[in-house]
Amino acid sequence: MAAASIRLFNTMTMQKETLEPAVPGKLGVYVCGPTVYSYVHIGNARTFTSFDVVVRYLRYRGFEVKYVRNYTDVDDKIIKAAHETGEEPVALAARFVEAFREDARALHLLEPDVSPKVSDHLAEIIGIIGKLVDKGLAYESKGDVYFSVRHYPEYAKLSKRNLDDLCAGERVQPGEQKHEPLDFALWKAAKPGEPAWDSPWGKGRPGWHIECSAMSAKYLGETFDIHGGGLDLIFPHHENEIAQSEGASGKTFSRYWMHCGFLDLEGAKMSKSLGNVVRLRDALTKVDPEALRFFFVGTHYRHPLNFADKGLADAEQRMEYFYETLRKVDERVSGKDFGKGPLYGEPHKHLTEFESQMDDDFNTAGALGALSGLFAQMNELTDKPPVKDKAQVGRTLQALREDVRKVSGVLGLFEDEPAQWLLRRRDRAVKERGIDVAKVESLIQARNEARKAKNFAEGDRLREELKGMGVEILDTAAGTVWKVAPQ
């Protein structure tokens, strides 16, 4: 496969560029991870899903990717949350790291190759701060250490902000140890009750931004390929990372910058069924994880996305259609040998289209269009095959099914057994709508008996009765299956 044909929008240049790794065939990817003071927020889940798909696709395209996503386990928010619960901050953070791992697995997020924590990287953090102090880019002040923005003329080159504008109206507040308002903390002197480590500037803890500079350099080198995060991190977090890393190394920090758009929660706030769902784990009690992924990737990662009932319900219904198709196709062709011979039409054109959309700045929204074409063709071939040659139809369906597996690996969808997924979806709908399953099953049995006795009028009457209960039935090769009808 042509590995060098991917174009991505680089926030640094504000242009789409062809992705060219520093080392051919290899890519280092760093994504700013969660601050583990609580459960992961649904907006962050969107960002992590976007980069999950990016990493999966880069691998699909043949790159050897090293994916690093950190945990911020030393932070003001963690200290505050720990004071509230009476736990040690490090213990509280460890608890939420585990919770994050569980939630990430539930959302089918790949485990990164390295997931470093701040609390394990004090030596690296202190090392880079020392370098900045030696170079005159940072200064100590009463046990704190600050980056001196005035000494780094390229500051704000990612966000393209103007330093004079940034300074306007800002002043150093009473009690602050920094010299100038834009200077930011690399190291904070210990306060009572806070976690603290020894350093050349006394006991203290790192500021937020320095960890990403230290950990990315350790695992990916001083220069690496792709740095990602949410749009809200551009300023000041990524700007400060650049200043620290490039200030210390004198080299380009990340060669490409990618940022994921906001998840707008207004829709959720107004929604009855979602309530104020802002945690991923709460959302996953209401919506299927793959449907949530499908909802996320239905919008380009750089665009804002409105989190609301309608979109989620549509996503889940769409997933049901996909899984119903897969169940039907698997029933027809799985494990069968249709011999060698020509295929019908151009079955791989959908996969080619999927790839060309993904090559264009990971355009998942466009890629889903190609996926729809793929499923429409599978349905056509199973329901009303345009050719008589059953072996040719079987071979073509198998080829299409194989392409679905490839797409599935990139999007993290259709990883379930179709019958299992459909059953879970049905169970959830049954609960929500209060449907009596025992009654449904006895009516289906009565209908099958009526049909066996050729009493088709009674069979139709029973089908109508089921319909009145919100149940749709489908006669398949494996027997009658039922589902809850969409509302």
The string over 271-296, giving b where at least 16 C-beta atoms fall within 10 Å of a residue's C-beta and e elsewhere, is: beebeebbbbbebbebbbbbbbbbbb
- Cβ atoms of 377 and 321 closer than 8 Å: no
Q: What is the closest distance, in whole angstroms, from the C-beta atom of residue 79 to Zn ion in the complex?
A: 19
Rounded least distance, CB 190 to Zn ion, Å: 23
- The encoded tokens of residue 4 equal 């060098």
Q: Between 32 and 443, name the residue whose CB sits nearer to Zn ion.
A: 32
Shortest Å, Cβ 237 to Zn ion: 5
The strand pairing partners of 148, in sequence order, are none
Cα separation, 393 vs 378, in Å, equals 10
Instruction: Return the number of the residue (190 or 231) whose C-beta is nearest Zn ion.
Output: 231
> Which CB, 156 or 378, lies closer to Zn ion?
156
- CB of residue 126 vs Zn ion: minimum separation in angstroms? 18
Q: Please say which residue, 212 or 284, places its beta carbon nearer to Zn ion.
A: 212
For residue 89, whether the previous peptide bond is cis, meaning omega lies within 30 degrees of 0, is no
As measured in angstroms, the least distance from the Cβ of 29 to Zn ion is 13
Which residues lie near Zn ion (CB under 5 A)? Answer: 32, 212
Smaller CB distance to Zn ion: residue 31 or 292? 31
Q: Report the candidate in 330, 327, 332, 335 with the shortest Cα–Cα distance to residue 422.
A: 327
Q: How many residues does the chain have?
A: 487
* CB count in 10 Å sphere of residue 311: 17
Least spacing, CB of residue 241 vs Zn ion, in Å:
6
Q: Which residues pair with 147 in a beta bridge?
A: 138, 184
Task: Specify the amino acid at residue 469.
Answer: M
Q: Which is nearer to Zn ion, 32 or 132 (CB)?
A: 32
Handedness of CA 187, 37, 119, 258 (dihedral sign): negative
Nearer to Zn ion, 35 or 396 (CB): 35
Q: 440, 471 in Cβ contact below 8 A?
A: yes
At its nearest, how many Å lie between Zn ion and the CB of residue 212?
3
The residue with tokens 């989190």 is 307
Rounded CA-CA distance 24/150 in Å is 37
